[in-house]
Structures are given as C-alpha cells and as structure tokens.
C-alpha cells in the first residue's frame, strides 16, 4: 500500500489533504469533542517541536528552557488582547509581535552563552525557563503585570475577518465548534512551520547548522561564523515558540504560570528525541505520540478502578516516569529516534559495502 502511494505522490498528497480536512469530524463523531481538543494540542505541540528541533535537531544546541519562549508569546498575547490592560489588538498584530519578542529574548539569552561549550547553554536555558516562571508567578505586585499564580483570563479568541473562532460556526447545516475552527488555524500554522523548517534545512543556512552540530571547529574553519549561525538557530526556534504561545493563549482564553513549567520543556524535548532529532516527520510523530499517549493513559486509571476496585497508581504520576525512561532508552538504543533522518535513509540506499567499523573508531579518536 505505501509502495503504491509512493508511485503516485499526487494521489497520496490528495488523500492526505482530504484526511486532514475531515479529521476533526471523524474524531468528533467517533471519540467526542474532547478528542478534537486533544487534536488541537497535538498541532500546538507539533509547532513547538518543529521550533525546538531547529535549535536541538538542526544546530545541535540543547535548549532546556524552551517553554519560556512559549510563555513569553502567551503572556504577550494576553497583555495585548484581553481586558487585563483593556487592549484588544487583532491576532495578526499580536502573534508576530510575540514571535519577535521571543526571538529577541532568544538572542539576549544566547549571545552571552553561545560562545561557550554547549552544555553551559543547557543549564543557562534551564535557569532562564525558571526565571521567567518565577517572574510570571510573582509579578502581580506591586504592579499587576501577570496576575501571579491565578493567571490571566478572558483572553480574546482569534478572529478572522470579523469571525470569532471562539464561537461555534454554522455553515451549510453544519455546526463547527471552536475546537474544530482552531484545528484548521493550527493546521495552517503547522503546515507553514513545516514548510519553513524544511526549506531552511535544505539551504545554505541549514547546512551551516548541520556542520555546526557535527563539528564546531571544522565548521569555523570552513568559513562559518559559528556564533551568528548559532544565534540564528536560537532566535528562530524561540520565535516559533513565541508564536505557539500566542496561539495557545487565544485558544485557551486563559493562561497561568502552571502551563509553563520545566516539564513542558522536557516534554517537547522528549518529542523530538523520540521521533528523530533533525527529521521533521519524526518530530511530528514524536509530538503526536507524546500528546496522545498521556490522554490514552487516563484510561489506565479507569482500568484499575474496573479491575482492582481502586486506583493503585495514578497514571498521571506514571507519565513523567515513562518519559524519563523513554529518554534514556532512546539515547541508549535508538539515538536517531523512531524515524531516522532523510540522510540516514539515503545513505542506507547508497551504501555499497564500506567498512563501517573501521571508520567509527577514526572519529572516536578525536571526539
């Protein structure tokens, strides 16, 4: 079947487009509207994962505070489009601003640390993520900027051409609930992000990132300004995060610091590690799996109640544990992820019996 589709890419493409278009209806009818909401989150996480993948997968920089950029985008959206300050700017103004703000913070944070060894970046971004969260939690006094731990609510929904995505839409006898409307909006952004990320990967910039990831010194010696190229990756990734944050705020209508903990950063990192760092289909798969699995895990609680009479282990307690185990296992046994990258596949096709073992040691010698 997949073979047949590969023969007719246009047919496969059309099929995929139709599937994506009717997916929320199928899911809504089959599993209920709650699952359409899950679908929306899948898309949101895909957006985040594509952004983080630029930083980690393409350029090989470990960013552990990625969610801070998401938070920046979300808070900026809330400030500019909610009763909090009485501002109600349209989404097409706020979203780009959020992306830019996040990108700016990415540069501010990256500039001092990117000339150092990669692992310092990991720690500094981790710290940055916490700083942002601490500030969001506490900036309700003396001047109420974030409304503290309560968070901010009544954030404006996205509205396109006078049409609010926050209300159900009636067309041609169909009623499209907000979750479905946002599905299409998020889908559009994800497709755009995929397009941008893939174009970038297959370009002079993308090759420079890859070179940087493979060997920073050799990259510099080949004429790459490693500092600028790193900053670029960092800022690009951050602005994807900021964009996703804005969408999240509009979709939920409510944000609080709780949505932006370190574990969210780790979750997104898990997505790209699991799916396949550097490879967009892998990243998308990772995002889908890790959003859906916890949802499915909820049934584990019901299952325990049904079979044992009470809940022995709360499945949400197991979630992080499983992620931790998955991270370690993936690194130990399948470091390239579930879907290894394009290059590796191409290589397997082109390979004509070159002694691999011998070469591997060559690189070890000076790693």
Partner 1 sequence: MDIFAQQLVNGLVLGSIYALVALGYTMVYGILELINFAHGEVTMVGAMVALSVIGLLMGVAPELPGVVVVLAGILVAIPACMALAYTIEKIAYRPLRHAPRLAPLITAIGVSIILQNLAMLIWGRQYVSFPAILPSDKYALLGAQISLLQIVIVVLALLLMAGLWLLVERTRLGRAMRATAQSREVAELMGVNVDRVISATFVLGAAIAAIAGVMVSAYYGLAHYYMGFMLGLKAFSAAVLGGIGNLAGAMLGGLLLGVIEALGAGYIGDLTGGFLGSNYQDVFAFFVLIGVLVLRPSGLLGERVANRA
Partner 2 sequence: MALLSVENVSKRFGGIQALEDITLAVEAGEIYGLIGPNGAGKTTLFNCMTGLYTVSSGAIRLDGAALQALKPHQIVKLGFARTFQNIRLFANMSALENVMVGRHARTHAKVLGAVFRGRKTRAEEADTQERAQTLLNRVGLASKGQVLACHLAYGDQRRLEIARALASEPRLLALDEPVAGMNPSERLQMGELMRELRADGLTLLLIEHDVKLVMGLCDRVAVLDYGRKIAEGQSEAVRNDPAVIAAYLGSEA
Residue 124 near which of partner 1, partner 2, none (CB within 5-8 Å, type-dependent): partner 1
The stretch among 14-22, 73-81, 88-96, 130-138 that binds partner 1 (CB under 8 A) is 130-138
Burial 262-281, CB ≥16 within 10 A → b, else e: eebbbbbbbbbbbbbbbbbe
- Which residue, 298 or 346, is less far from partner 2 as judged by CB? 346
How far is 290 from 323, CA to CA, in rounded Å? 9
The CA dihedral of 311, 316, 318, 324, to the nearest 10 degrees, is 180
How far is 226 from 114, CA to CA, in rounded Å? 9
The answer to the question of residue 145 lying near partner 1 (CB under 8 A) is: no
The answer to the question of residue 203 lying near partner 2 (CB under 8 A) is: yes
Residues numbered 328 to 347 that lie near partner 2 (CB under 8 A) are 343-344, 346-347
How far is 91 from 150, CA to CA, in rounded Å? 24
Closest distance between partner 2 and the C-beta of residue 233, in Å?
10
Helix (H) or strand (E) holding 325: helix 315-333
The answer to the question of residue 250 lying near partner 1 (CB under 8 A) is: no
The answer to the question of residue 214 lying near partner 2 (CB under 8 A) is: yes
The answer to the question of residue 301 lying near partner 1 (CB under 8 A) is: no
Nearest to 12 by CA among 23, 21, 3: 3
Residues numbered 4 to 43 that lie near partner 1 (CB under 8 A) are none
Residue 356 near which of partner 2, partner 1, none (CB within 5-8 Å, type-dependent): partner 2
Helix (H) or strand (E) holding 174: strand 174-176
Q: How many residues bind partner 1 (CB under 8 A)?
A: 48
Among 35, 104, 130, 281, binds partner 1 (CB under 8 A): 130
How far is 321 from 67, CA to CA, in rounded Å? 20
Closest distance between partner 1 and the C-beta of residue 327, in Å?
3
Residue 128 near which of partner 1, partner 2, none (CB within 5-8 Å, type-dependent): partner 1
The answer to the question of residue 224 lying near partner 2 (CB under 8 A) is: yes
Residue 236 near which of partner 2, partner 1, none (CB within 5-8 Å, type-dependent): partner 2
Among 48, 99, 211, 287, binds partner 2 (CB under 8 A): 211
Neighbour-count burial of 353, counting CB atoms closer than 10 A to its CB (0-12 exposed, 13-18 middle, 19+ buried): exposed
CB 115 within 8 A of CB 227: yes
How far is 161 from 91, CA to CA, in rounded Å? 11
Residue 170 phi/psi, 5° resolution? -105, 115
- Beta strands 87-88 and 81-82 are antiparallel
Residue 346 near which of partner 2, partner 1, none (CB within 5-8 Å, type-dependent): partner 2
How far is 239 from 98, CA to CA, in rounded Å? 7
In the shown chain, the binding pattern of residues 204 to 233 toward partner 1, with x for contact by CB under 8 A and - for none, equals -------------x----------------
CB 21 within 8 A of CB 259: no
Q: For residue 257, what is the DSSP state?
A: G
Residue 90 near which of partner 1, partner 2, none (CB within 5-8 Å, type-dependent): none
Residues numbered 48 to 107 that lie near partner 1 (CB under 8 A) are 56, 60, 62, 64
> ω into residue 333 within 30 of 0, thus cis?
no
Closest distance between partner 1 and the C-beta of residue 280, in Å?
18
The answer to the question of residue 357 lying near partner 2 (CB under 8 A) is: no
Spatial neighbors of 55 by CB under 8 A, at least 6 apart, are 61, 63, 66, 233, 234, 236, 237, 238
* Residues at the site binding partner 2, with contacts judged by CB under 8 A: 195-196, 199-200, 203-208, 210-211, 214-215, 217-226, 232, 236, 343-344, 346-347, 350-351, 354-356, 358-360, 362-363, 365-366
* Residues at the site binding partner 1, with contacts judged by CB under 8 A: 56, 60, 62, 64, 112-113, 115-120, 122-124, 126-128, 130-131, 134-135, 137-138, 141-143, 217, 262, 266, 269, 273, 313, 317-318, 320-321, 323-328, 331-332, 335, 364, 367
């Amino acid at each position: 079947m997949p073979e047949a589709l590969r023969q007719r890419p246009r047919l496969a493409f059309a099929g995929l487009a139709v599937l994506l278009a009717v997916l929320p209806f199928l899911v809504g009818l089959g599993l209920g509207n709650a699952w359409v909401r899950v679908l929306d989150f899948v898309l949101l996480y895909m957006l985040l994962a594509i952004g983080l993948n630029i930083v980690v997968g393409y350029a090989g920089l470990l960013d552990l505070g990625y969610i801070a950029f998401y938070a920046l985008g979300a808070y900026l959206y809330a400030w500019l489009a909610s009763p909090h300050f009485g501002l109600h700017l349209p989404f097409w103004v706020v979203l780009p601003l959020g992306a830019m703000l996040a990108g700016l913070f990415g540069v501010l944070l990256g500039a001092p640390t990117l000339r150092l060894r990669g692992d310092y970046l990991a720690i500094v971004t981790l710290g940055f993520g916490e700083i942002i969260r601490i500030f969001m939690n506490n900036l309700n006094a003396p001047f109420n900027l974030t409304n503290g731990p309560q968070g901010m609510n009544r954030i404006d929904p996205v509205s396109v051409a006078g049409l609010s995505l926050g209300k159900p839409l009636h067309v041609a006898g169909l009623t499209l609930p907000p979750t479905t409307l946002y599905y299409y909006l998020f889908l559009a952004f994800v497709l755009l992000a995929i397009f941008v990320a893939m174009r970038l990967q297959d370009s002079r910039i993308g090759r420079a990132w890859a070179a940087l990831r493979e060997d920073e010194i050799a990259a510099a010696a080949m004429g790459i300004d490693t500092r600028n190229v790193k900053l670029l990756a960092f800022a690009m990734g951050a602005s994807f995060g900021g964009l996703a944050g804005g969408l999240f705020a509009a979709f939920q209508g409510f944000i609080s610091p709780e949505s932006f903990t370190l574990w969210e950063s780790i979750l997104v990192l898990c997505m790209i590690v699991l799916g396949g760092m550097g490879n967009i289909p892998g990243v998308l798969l990772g995002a889908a799996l890790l959003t859906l699995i916890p949802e499915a895990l909820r049934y584990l609680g019901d299952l325990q109640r049904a079979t044992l009479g009470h809940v022995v282990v709360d499945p949400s307690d197991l979630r992080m544990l499983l992620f931790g185990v998955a991270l370690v296992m993936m690194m130990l046994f399948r470091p390239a992820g579930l879907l290894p990258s394009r290059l590796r596949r191409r290589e397997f096709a082109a390979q004509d019996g070159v002694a691999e073992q011998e070469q591997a040691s060559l690189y070890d010698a000076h790693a």
